[in-house]
Amino acid sequence: MPGERLSIRDNSSVGRFHGVSASNGDAVPESNTESKTKKESGCRRWLRRACPCCFQRQNSSYDVTSDTDGVVARNGENEGPTSPVTPTGDTELDELTLAVRSVNLLSQKSDRNKKEHHTDQYFSDQLIIRRGQTFQMELDFSRPFNPNTDKLHLELKTGPLPQVSKKTHIIIPLVDELQDDCWEAKIVGQNVNQIRLSINSPVKAIIGKYKLTITTQCHKTGETTTHDPNKDVYMLFNPWCEDDTVYMESEKELKEYVLNDTGRIYYGTELQIGARTWNFGQFDEGILEACLFVLDNSEVPPSGRGDPVNVVRVISAMINSPDDRGVLEGNWSGNYVGGTSPTAWSGSIEILRQYHKEGGTPVKYGQCWVFSGVTTTVLRCLGIPCRSVTNFQSAHDTDVSLTTDVYFDEDMQPIHHLNSDSVWNFHVWNDCWMARPDLPPGMGGWQAVDSTPQETSHGTFRCGPASLAAIRSGQVYLKFDTPFVFAEVNSDKIYWQRNPDGTFSQVHSEKKAVGHCISTKAVGSDERVDITNLYKYPEGSEEERIAVETACRYGSKPDVYSSPIAEDVRVEVRMEGEGPLMGGDAKLMIVLKNTSSQPRRTTLHSQAAVMYYTGVLRDTVKKDTLNVELKPQEEKVIEWVLPYTQYQNQLVDQAALMMTLSGRVSETQQVLANQTSFRLRTPDLKIEPIGEAYVGKEMSAKITFTNPLPCTLRNVVIRVEGLGLRDLHPIKVGDVSKHGNVTVTEHFIPTIAGQRKLVASLDCKQLTQVHGVADIDVHESQ
């Protein structure tokens, strides 16, 4: 039954035709019915002997399908069992060449192959199966198949140059009993001219598209025929199979990480976590073909596609485009002329379809959440459990030090040209699930993979798969790209001050600066779940400190932890509620705490700069200097305000800003340093479905939006889409006046019953990350 875990083979559930023995290889009993024949001409008799296929009274293009009673039907008509061919007494006629008339791959959504292989959601009538599990097909011959005198084998070929030695040319023999982990076929049913085969595939079979042919031979005549049914077989990874390296035990997790075609992607800051719905659409029309096209375009030979580690590494490289003309072109400039703004995408479907349709031209444009969303689509489509993951305060280590380094001059002013390391407000990548036989035991399970082009790995922009178990324990010497991911989630932030002789001294460190609120969508709901504990031990614990120091011993600054630094004054930045709104003044609180029994004085420098979400600063919008005196054990709160007029024309995507605080305590010479990023919150698009939803019946949804800015928004476009509801539809709204309201009504016809999501996003240069979602319960047509 669909949803039940399958053993590799289930002999108890094989389909049989009426009147057929359970054993394989028994000859079909011949009918005793007497044949009435007419005298034939010599030419006609020769044709009957030479080509029985052409001589058949009915044409040979029928597809054979079977119902639960084992009765064969042609062209949708139930004709009942076909009578056996009656012996004529002519030895030559009885030994005529055996030919295949038609092949039924049992590939409809309702057929057992797709249900048992969990592929019935794919929008395709092709046979889509998962490796390591039996599948069935039916063959219709020109005469009854006799196992004692006839031979049969199948061939599957994949790739441009199939080779048996590379396991891209598969020869499947007919056997009496199926064995484990090899290609073979067995007869499990026979009815006159038709037989049903059960075919087994190994758990390490290469995934991809195979071309099928069937070869038959009559032992007595030696005649051989090969039938090409012009049908493809698609082979995928099998997370339901215990022997596949992508095996996942939990049915609930399989439903979420393989079969769920929508999800949530998180963004913003750790104090202002935003969420948006993403249409993965891995089962949509043309997506499987597009995903295999991505693999084909990688120039990695098909022989390497049986290993999920290798496939994930290839996909990580191919989703971006700097060095291999992959799926997406990244753009963090803010200028998206000639393409689509990254914030305007709501799903992967149009991106993959466009890439496939245009023959491999990168789609413009993507940023980290788009790269991640497309990666989730491709890996789930191919059968690898996958999820999108967001890391808040995500470090980008550029010198393999495994620390995030900030450099100041003698006056404690930032040295911008040296500050190449950065901390992104958030960064989105992926986790995929698999065993890691290439690593020491215990390193399997979730693996981090990042398709956003940041740093090269062995000369190519890609990252992972890196074991989360290795990241958590600081074992950064294990492949692939574990040091980079470790630095993203658990590097310490080290502050350096330039000395008069040009050298640098460590003056301060933050041990909890990066890797906060690592988030993904919960299994079975739209709630956010925090998975930080999978990436690192609790901050400040002995295990976490050991992991950090272990990792840094393999970095470019192994002696960074040689001397501890004492502190008795702390500085932090706090935010009220969910933080400041776009269009108003931004207010934050600077908090200084003196933990000593002596008074303390400090001069505190504050600087606010507009920032790309990647941590790259653009322009400074405000600078201040504060002289602060603290009594023993005193905590002082200072209000800091950034007026709207100072940032209104400076913002970039994500509306992010960075506040940098630095200073020195006069009595102890302790250095104070803190960097805090925050974003200006944007409004949501409100979507209100109108009326009940039924398959095939037009319905509407009202979409409303209020401009939060005291200025006019230009060339506003609202993009609407929903799996099973409608394809992507851009609605040109035009200009929206300051604080103005917009209402549009979208009409569409649902095509799939069940819980669906209608997603909308606003595309506008002055305002980004505005989106909304509505749940719609679609009923079957009345």
Phi and psi (nearest 5°) for 14?
Answer: -65, 145
Structure-derived torsion over alpha carbons of residues 8, 10, 11, 15, reported in degrees to the nearest 10: -120
Q: Are 133 and 195 in contact (CB under 8 A)?
A: no
Q: How far is CA 657 from the centre of its chain?
A: 30
Task: Show the CA angle centred on residue 633, arms to residues 632 and 634, nearest 5°.
Answer: 90
Give the type of residue at 210: Y
Distance separating alpha carbons of residues 775 and 264, to the nearest angstrom:
13
Name the 3-class secondary structure at 766. coil
String of DSSP letters for 52-101 = HHHH-SS-TTPPEEE-TT--EEETTEE--PPPPPPP-S-HHHHTPPP-EE
Q: How far is CA 267 from the centre of its chain?
A: 17
Q: Annotated catalytic residue: which of 368, 386, 463, 764?
A: 368
Task: Show the CA angle centred on residue 327, arms to residues 322 and 333, nearest 5°.
Answer: 55
Active site residue 747: no
> Is 723 exposed, middle or buried (CB count within 10 Å of its CB: 0-12, 13-18, 19+)?
buried
Phi and psi (nearest 5°) for 498?
Answer: -75, 135
Q: Which residue is associated with the tokens 């620390």?
A: 403
Q: Annotated catalytic residue: which of 450, 492, 653, 763?
A: 450
> Is 672 exposed, middle or buried (CB count within 10 Å of its CB: 0-12, 13-18, 19+)?
buried
Q: Annotated catalytic residue: which of 118, 396, 427, 508?
A: 427
Q: Are 302 and 168 in contact (CB under 8 A)?
A: yes
Q: Which of 173, 180, 175, 186 is nearest to 243 (CA)?
A: 180
Beta-bridge partner residues of 268 = 273
String of DSSP letters for 551-599 = HHTTSS-TTTTSS-----EEEEEE--TT-PBTTS-EEEEEEEEE-SSS-
Q: Which two tokens stand for residue 257?
A: 């990480």
Distance separating alpha carbons of residues 198 and 133, to the nearest angstrom:
10
Any residues with CB less than 8 A from the CB of 248 and at least 6 apart, and which? 239, 254, 257, 258, 385, 433
String of DSSP letters for 407-464 = EE-TTS-B-GGG---EEEEEEEEEEEEE--TTS-TT--EEEEE--S-SSEETTEE---
- Helix, strand, coil share of the chain (percent; to 5): 15, 40, 45
Angle between helices 542-552 and 482-490 (to 10 degrees): 140
Name the 3-class secondary structure at 327. coil
Q: Which two tokens stand for residue 210?
A: 């195979």
Distance separating alpha carbons of residues 394 and 517, to the nearest angstrom:
10
Distance separating alpha carbons of residues 672 and 153, to the nearest angstrom:
76
Q: Are 536 and 490 in contact (CB under 8 A)?
A: yes
Q: Which two tokens stand for residue 547?
A: 């992991």
Residue 82 CB: number of other CB atoms within 10 A? 16
Active site residue 368: yes
- List active site positions: 368, 427, 450
